[in-house]
Amino acid sequence: MGDLTPTTILATDCGSTTTKAILFELTSTGWRQTYRGEAPTTVEKPVADVTIGVCNACLELEELSNRKILKNNFEDQASPFLFKTSANDKNGIDLYISTSSAGGGLQMVVAGVVGDMTAASAERAALGAGAIVMDAISLDDGREPHQRIKKIRNLRPDIILIAGGTDGGTTAHPLELAETILQANPQPRFGETLKLPVIYAANQAASEQAQQILDKTFSWTAVENIRPTLETENLAPARNAIHELFLQHVMSHAPGYKKLLNYSPVPIIPTPVGFGDMIQTIAQLDTKQILAVDIGGATTDVFSVFNVVENHSTTPIFNRTVSANLGMSYSIVNVLLSAGLKNIKRWLPFAIEDSEIEDRLRNKMIRPTTIPQTVEDLLLEQALCREALKLAFAHHQKLATGLKGKQKKRLFDSLFKDNKNSDALVNMLELNLIIGSGGVLSHAPNRKSSALMLIDAFEPVGITTLVVDSIFMLPHLGVLSHVNPSAALEIYKNDCVVKLGTVLAPQGQIKLGQPAFKVQLGAITTTVLGGEIISLPLNEQEQAEIKIIPESSALDFGTGYGKSLSTTIGGGAAGIILDARGREIMFAKTEEERIIQVKSWHREVGL
């Protein structure tokens, strides 16, 4: 690459099945996403070289853009890309950047002394670094030592992270974890001669002894303690070590990745890290509190950024969780088993036998690339999506908490629906934005159904904007944010997301059939009854001044129970959605009434 200021940037994402290539260009109207190409990922045999899939995706980009991107010999070990020599070049690129989850992404085992303290901190560190946590081991997890050893031995992680013990505390427990890992002696996925990396982020007083136990068998890395005291959590050193080891030990041994690493001056990061980095960029530059989801065929990732106020200062806290057994194809039967037939059927506006649902979902599992062929199939898939998102969100809420063992004042009045978890960070009344991503949300035939799926799954309260990532661009923008954050945000707003609309829903007890709240939009006043959902038209280019008036002192839109508020909101494909169905959503008791009820919800939203 030359010394030119980048104005044409090629970004790829090497996914588990598909490699996506996107061109970002500085145009007369600002930074825009201009062209997109894709090709099958080629990390597995017989090709076993991820760079071939990258070049194939770029060949499609060349055809669409009429721009020469690859050298004639694109198998060049140094770089297959044609770089610009002057700012006026119509061919070539200025910079190549990439994310990757090919080969199953980054897979880790974490170990801590106490499950809901140091093991939870280790899990947050791994998840924030883009990993799938295969198992979380702790000395109080209810398993016998031989059971932990057997479990670790049967897994093939890329990295192991050890946490536990505050600095200056007992050294016995972290050393016990080290002995457990030594006896298990798990083997890495890639590289026959590779030593499995172990990151030690526990009691620093035990570091040398732990190194003596593990150094001969494993690749040893020691960093600062994740929990130096009960009151503090220090995740950055462990996350940085995970990123470095991912590049040096994991990707360098995966087929073709050594070449790919040399193609870009910007480090290649895991796809979920790119997604999460962009969420944090949006939250920082747009000062929003965000909930985002990426639902795939095998896993569902949930990301959040919520503000925590402590000692008169506000700190945005980022969290990511992975539900590795919840997805829309490979893991679809796991959704069925976890959610149950009753919960799936409640979203369907038609009657269907249980056995028919089971047969259709099993067919989807064994033929994961198929898409719905009938309206019934589509509605069933969307019902599964709602339940998968609900389960993944419950998992996220469980992990996105404050530090266990820390003495602190309660930060929020209402955090979960049942109000039982005072350590939770997820405050739905403070939520500004929900971002949906993944095929079932991004490629739904009707954008209004995407909006309804997000509302039904997450049950937002207050005033919340809904958008979807139109072509799975957020990971590309995340790695771009490392180079040019303002360009990433500009492309995000102009080309990445489709605005679905704004949902207004109160927190509190709603009585069926009774007036819940009124909305004044211009000269028109709309009253919403308990159990209703109503859509008011407002396109994505428009904004409107509205006034919300609760009809009961038991309802809160974020300004206090029973209090009115006036604000400006934007529209989208589904317009303004007024939701008085309750939190949790209330369903009719009989099957016939429930079908009529769900049909009315679809009709009112415009489906």
Q: List C-alpha distances in Å: 340 to 10, 297, 329, 333.
A: 44, 19, 17, 10
Encoded tokens for 585: 């959503």
* Alpha helices for 97-256 (secondary structure H): 120-128, 145-154, 172-184, 207-214, 236-245
Q: Of 77-86, 129-138, 339-348, 420-429, where does mean pLDDT reach its minimum?
A: 420-429
- Whole-number Å distance between alpha carbons of 591 and 602: 17
For residue 435, the cross-strand partners are 292, 467
**DSSP per residue, 518-574:** EEEETTEEEEEEBT-EEEE---TT-EEEEEEEESSTTEESSS-BT--EEEEEE--TT
Q: What fold characterizes domain 105-263? A: Rossmann fold (3.40.50)
Average the pLDDT over 313-326 and give the result.
88
Q: How confident is the model at residue 413 (pLDDT cuts 50, 70, 90)?
A: very low
What is the model's pLDDT at position 411?
Answer: 41
What is the model's pLDDT at position 2?
Answer: 47
Question: Domain boundaries in the chain?
Answer: 8-102, 105-263, 272-327+343-605
Question: Would the CA dihedral through 332, 336, 338, 342 be positive or negative?
Answer: positive
| CB 140, CB 331: distance < 8 Å | no
Encoded tokens for 175: 């050393």
* Alpha helices for 169-256 (secondary structure H): 172-184, 207-214, 236-245
Average the pLDDT over 298-314 and give the result.
86
3-state helix, strand, coil in the chain (%, to 5): 35, 25, 40
The amino acid present at 411, given as its one-letter code, is: L
Does the pLDDT of residue 452 top 90, yes or no?
yes
CB count in 10 Å sphere of residue 591: 11
- Nearest Cα to 381, choosing from 364, 356, 359? 364
Residue 374 φ/ψ, nearest 5 degrees: -130, 165
Pairing type for strands 18-27 and 30-40 reads antiparallel
Encoded tokens for 264: 């870009």
- Nearest Cα to 84, choosing from 34, 29, 14, 26? 26
What is the model's pLDDT at position 308?
Answer: 85
- Whole-number Å distance between alpha carbons of 330 and 282: 31
Judged by DSSP in three states, 264 sits in coil
Average the pLDDT over 388-404 and give the result.
88
What is the model's pLDDT at position 169?
Answer: 87
Calculated CA dihedral for residues 206, 208, 212, 215, nearest 10 degrees? 110
| CB 349, CB 382: distance < 8 Å | no
Q: How confident is the model at residue 409 (pLDDT cuts 50, 70, 90)?
A: very low
| CB 341, CB 353: distance < 8 Å | no
Average the pLDDT over 257-272 and give the result.
90
Does the pLDDT of residue 418 top 50, yes or no?
no
- Nearest Cα to 106, choosing from 154, 155, 152, 158? 158
Pairing type for strands 462-469 and 433-437 reads parallel
Judged by DSSP in three states, 142 sits in coil
- Indicate the helix (H) or strand (E) that contains 302: strand 300-310
- Whole-number Å distance between alpha carbons of 136 and 351: 41
Burial environment of residue 26 by CB neighbours within 10 A (0 to 12, 13 to 18, 19 or more):
middle
| CB 534, CB 581: distance < 8 Å | no
- Indicate the helix (H) or strand (E) that contains 22: strand 18-27
- Nearest Cα to 573, choosing from 380, 384, 475, 444? 444
Q: Say which residues have a Cβ less than 8 Å from residue 415's Cβ, sequence separation at least 6.
A: 421, 422, 424, 425, 426, 427
Q: List C-alpha distances in Å: 68 to 83, 97, 454.
A: 10, 17, 40
pLDDT tens string 537-564: 999 999 999 999 999 999 999 999 999 9
Average the pLDDT over 450-459 and give the result.
97
Q: List C-alpha distances in Å: 404 to 233, 412, 588.
A: 10, 16, 39
Q: Per this entry, what is the length of the chain? A: 607
Question: Would the CA dihedral through 541, 546, 552, 557 be positive or negative?
Answer: positive
- Nearest Cα to 184, choosing from 203, 198, 202? 198
Judged by DSSP in three states, 459 sits in coil
* Averaged confidence pLDDT in the chain: 90
- Whole-number Å distance between alpha carbons of 31 and 15: 25
- Whole-number Å distance between alpha carbons of 400 and 52: 39
What is the model's pLDDT at position 211?
Answer: 96
Beta strands, E only, 28-153? 30-40, 95-100, 106-112, 131-138
The amino acid present at 466, given as its one-letter code, is: L
| CB 453, CB 502: distance < 8 Å | no
Encoded tokens for 108: 């880790």
Encoded tokens for 437: 């991503």
What is the model's pLDDT at position 583?
Answer: 93
For residue 308, the cross-strand partners are 315
Average the pLDDT over 130-140 and give the result.
92
Encoded tokens for 179: 């002995």
Encoded tokens for 590: 């009989």
- Whole-number Å distance between alpha carbons of 322 and 299: 7
- Indicate the helix (H) or strand (E) that contains 198: strand 197-200
pLDDT tens string 40-51: 988 888 888 899
Q: Of 81-90, 118-127, 522-531, 569-578, where does mean pLDDT reach its minimum?
A: 81-90
Phi/psi region, residue 23 (left: phi>0; alpha: psi -120 to 50; beta: rest), is beta
What is the model's pLDDT at position 87?
Answer: 80
- Whole-number Å distance between alpha carbons of 471 and 443: 8
